[in-house]
Amino acid sequence: MSSLESVRRFAAEIDRVDVLVHNAGVLPQERTVTVEGLELTFATHVLGPLLMTDLLRSRLAASADPRVVLVSSGGMYTQRLRADDPEYREGTYKSATAYARTKRMQVTLVPLLAERYAAEGIAVHGMHPGWADTPGVAGSLPGFHRLTSAFLRTAEEGADTVVWLAATSPAPRAGRFWHDRRERPAHLLPGTAEKPGDVAAFWRYCAGAAGLR
């Protein structure tokens, strides 16, 4: 997902798609740049999913009930949209912050993509699964995993709302953010709401970086 060229090759090989779930994730301990010059977390969580969805647009539209689900994280609640620094070039890089920032970006994309694809009947949803006991958590956040292992959800519990968004009928309202099959607010903490022009600037940057038309 971090390689836009790889995403393009993959999309060219797909003949049919009904549901597209974006759940690929990374948590590099240091700021890492891809061969295409993109910050790795941003490329994996934001640009790769954005490009793949757009490239599969016509094949999704051919489905009877196409849906796209972006799997975010509750950690995004701690961050505002950094349209001024989407690739974390400024300040001291912190992996958890980079992760949460890009998860905020995913949530910002949901209503934008829902509007972009509405005429073609493609529903776009966002969600967060809660903290689940997965190899990614154990490997990237070992201290957190040790302290919270008794409270973490199973992978199946974390995936429940993803499956529900992908398959329930009638379909949930598009362009919303969900947790445990309930619509949730996109912001909880003061100071995290988008400033005027942030969303438009963020979209221009992403569209340009991904080469969207």
Active site residues: 99
User: Please, are residues 80 and 200 in contact by the beta-carbon 8 Å criterion?
Assistant: no
| 142 token code pair | 């070992």
Instruction: Output DSSP code: residue 180.
Output: T
Between the alpha carbon of residue 139 and those of residues 27, 29, 101, the distances in Å are 10, 11, 20
Residue type, 165: L
Q: Quickly count helices (H) and strands (E) in the chain.
A: 9, 5
Rounded to 5°, angle at Cα 108 from 130 and 66: 80
Neighbours of 54 (CB within 10 A): 20
